[in-house]
Structure 1
């Protein structure tokens, strides 16, 4: 079922630029959803559409041909795309985030290769430092087996996190933390594997891949914990973890809202055997109102958290420690609220959510898969409380 919903009017952004491009692709994304899941990655037609729209460069600086979107615009775009199809919202989020980091943290020589003039470079991969690398003459010899390479089904360059080795052991920074770096490697030097047979987010192209003794010039790497921004504006100073959180937050808000919009349409005609029409059942009406309020509240909190962090970054050069953790808190909280909304929608939809193809069923599967991501686990919430106790913050209420 495709509905015309509050999703068409709930955004505050203007109808231009990246958000207008994303909205303009909604019907095509929905049309391709079945093929996307079957292919387990973004279809070639969608890749072409996103390349032509410029959305792969949503978070890339304008100096490299990107949109250099602020936090609100990026959230709105990811939310819109995930509303159309969770897998596409997730996959584009992975590509846009990876391209963002390559574009701001690599120097001029590598960015010229990754972002050739007039070409929409597409980047994906795994930033988790599961690989190992030893220094050679001009860089690193990298080895590693990677999983969850979202967006790599159509990527030109792959990211690969690694820990530098010294005398057979993990090298350490002066802080005592492992010397972790991110390498960018051309797709033709990657050993591509499969491994993406999953319950939800089926169409994200999150395939396994390996890097097998590949030389990477040091210029094509950057330090994971202490990256240096080479280009772009102050929005990027919310930090890598804040920039990653934008995509996860927008995804959850889009999927959760779509599930609620869909079940509201189902309820208008749904009647289970021997029961009253769902639209007339007080329990449904009450529970829907509560989930709707929770989603709207989570959305307001999310936008507030990211915009406040961005405001401080522009004014002070970086968000406060509490603001940094609050972006993670809002992302995890929004994901949980969206998961509750999707579970509610799936339960009340009955067989409409069970039988494929079903948008409600897909939302339920996609949000369930997203809850397993390390980026939204319990540690993000405990870290927020610990940071708040350590640094404090005047109440804004």
Structure 2
């Protein structure tokens, strides 16, 4: 594989080139309940998996604005695949916060890494031993485990003074088990199986503090680019939110295509009479809502790129709340589109129905807990401290 990095416009075009394949294979992958080898190989060939990897490792070192466009482009075609690829990309970003010795090991033979990662530090336990840790546990939501090279999991570790500290651990895919629990209503083709680890030894060089990772403290000490001064949680937020925006935009596009075809057919049969298909006012409101949601996400993107790790916890919390609000807007818009699609919108093979299933599932990501996010944003408006640590 060439080590020549691609420019942002080339990466975005590569994503556009993949759209027909993702659309064609979306239903097949949903039925399979996992990503298809053919699709993953095509994305690999397009060299998108190296998007956030530093140039010193052969990556493209593209910033958040390119990540935004690539993720959204893929998600319009298939929200599940957009979600999976976005998570692969931002999980590669996680590796940039691990010790440099380990990073060189990971990227020694290829300019990307495919890995699931979980923020659920309560899923397992780790005990410090000579030279590293013994890790055991079981973690849900292992997005990316099907084609993984490495796996990232978190657990609490007791310090010498008795206090507990959250650490992340990296281990080769062959040292963990994937448990197929993925029987879900939406996001089916992500294949987000459980991850089980049974007493695996992890060297200290393959560990990093959760706080150093999420605050970009360790990554910014190793890599100079502005991307590596960006807190992790907003990047995770974009990976999730853009998939939901893409689902909504894809549903609207499909509705327009279907309805225009019906209108044309009715015109041909009725000698120019246009039948009022699908309650245009309802769809107009949905379209405007989706546009507004995109504007919110683009405004957050601009703010994140301006402030990065200089942002206060309150500002970071507002970023995630605004993302969550945009997602809820998209979900309502898709529900409205489905309501005027007619009986055909209930068919499982319908892209509009799949968008509804995907957005109904994906919008429940823990990062976008509605009550918690709105409550924290309300506290910020009243100059009160926020409570969430996921910022």
TM-score of the superposition, structure 2-length normalised? 0.87
1:201 equivalent to 2:196? Answer no
Q: How does 1:131-210 map to 2 (within 5 A)?
A: 131-165=124-158, 172=163, 178-210=164-196
Which string of whole-angstrom CA distances, capped at 9 and with x for unpartnered residues, describes residues 332-373 of structure 1?
Answer: 011111111111122211222211311001100000001221
Secondary structure, counterpart of 2:113 in structure 1? coil
1:363 equivalent to 2:358? Answer no
Instruction: Report the equivalent of 1:22.
Output: 15
Q: 1:188 to 1:286 in 2, by over 3 A?
A: same
1:288 equivalent to 2:290? Answer no
Distance 2:357 2:162 in 1: 40
Q: 1:97 aligns with which of 83, 90, 96?
A: 90
Instruction: Report the equivalent of 2:52.
Output: 59
Quote how far apart the aligned CAs of 1:270 are.
5.1
Distance 1:99 1:77 in 2: 15
Distance 1:223 1:380 in 2: 25
Which string of whole-angstrom CA distances, capped at 9 and with x for unpartnered residues, describes residues 63-82 of structure 1?
Answer: 22222222221111111111
Instruction: Report the equivalent of 2:203.
Output: 217
Quote how far apart the aligned CAs of 1:196 are.
0.4
Q: 1:299 aligns with which of 294, 297, 303?
A: 294
Secondary structure, counterpart of 1:309 in structure 2? helix
Greater Cα offset, 44-53 or 77-86: 44-53
Q: How does 1:98-137 map to 2 (within 5 A)?
A: 98-102=91-95, 104-129=96-121, 130-137=123-130
Quote how far apart the aligned CAs of 1:62 are.
2.1
Q: 1:143 to 1:185 in 2, by over 3 A?
A: same
Distance 2:196 2:343 in 1: 41
Which string of whole-angstrom CA distances, capped at 9 and with x for unpartnered residues, describes residues 93-142 of structure 1?
Answer: 1211111111x201222112222234532111323102110100011110
Distance 2:154 2:313 in 1: 25
Distance 1:320 1:214 in 2: 37
Which string of whole-angstrom CA distances, capped at 9 and with x for unpartnered residues, describes residues 185-218 of structure 1?
Answer: 1011002211001100000020012011001011
Instruction: Report the equivalent of 1:83.
Output: 76
Instruction: Report the equivalent of 1:309.
Output: 304
Instruction: Report the equivalent of 1:39.
Output: 32
Instruction: Report the equivalent of 1:233.
Output: 225
C-alpha RMSD of matched pairs (Å): 2.4
Q: Unmatched 5+ residue regions in structure 1?
A: 1-13, 173-177, 272-276, 393-397
Q: What is the total number of aligned residue pairs between the two structures?
A: 363
Contact conserved, 1:195 with 1:207, CA < 8 A, in 2? yes
Q: 1:60 to 1:18 in 2, by over 3 A?
A: same
Q: Unmatched 5+ residue regions in structure 2?
A: 1-6, 264-272, 386-391
Instruction: Report the equivalent of 2:4.
Output: none
Q: 1:162 to 1:30 in 2, by over 3 A?
A: same
Greater Cα offset, 196-205 or 124-133: 124-133
1:344 equivalent to 2:336? Answer yes
Secondary structure, counterpart of 1:372 in structure 2? coil
Secondary structure, counterpart of 1:145 in structure 2? strand
Distance 1:374 1:111 in 2: 28
Contact conserved, 1:75 with 1:249, CA < 8 A, in 2? no
TM-score of the superposition, structure 1-length normalised? 0.85
Quote how far apart the aligned CAs of 1:60 are.
2.0
Distance 1:324 1:290 in 2: 30
Greater Cα offset, 47-56 or 14-23: 14-23
Secondary structure, counterpart of 1:369 in structure 2? helix
Q: 1:354 aligns with which of 339, 342, 346?
A: 346
Quote how far apart the aligned CAs of 1:181 are.
1.0
Contact conserved, 2:180 with 2:194, CA < 8 A, in 1? yes
Quote how far apart the aligned CAs of 1:302 are.
1.0
Distance 1:20 1:389 in 2: 44
Quote how far apart the aligned CAs of 1:389 are.
3.0
Quote how far apart the aligned CAs of 1:232 are.
4.6
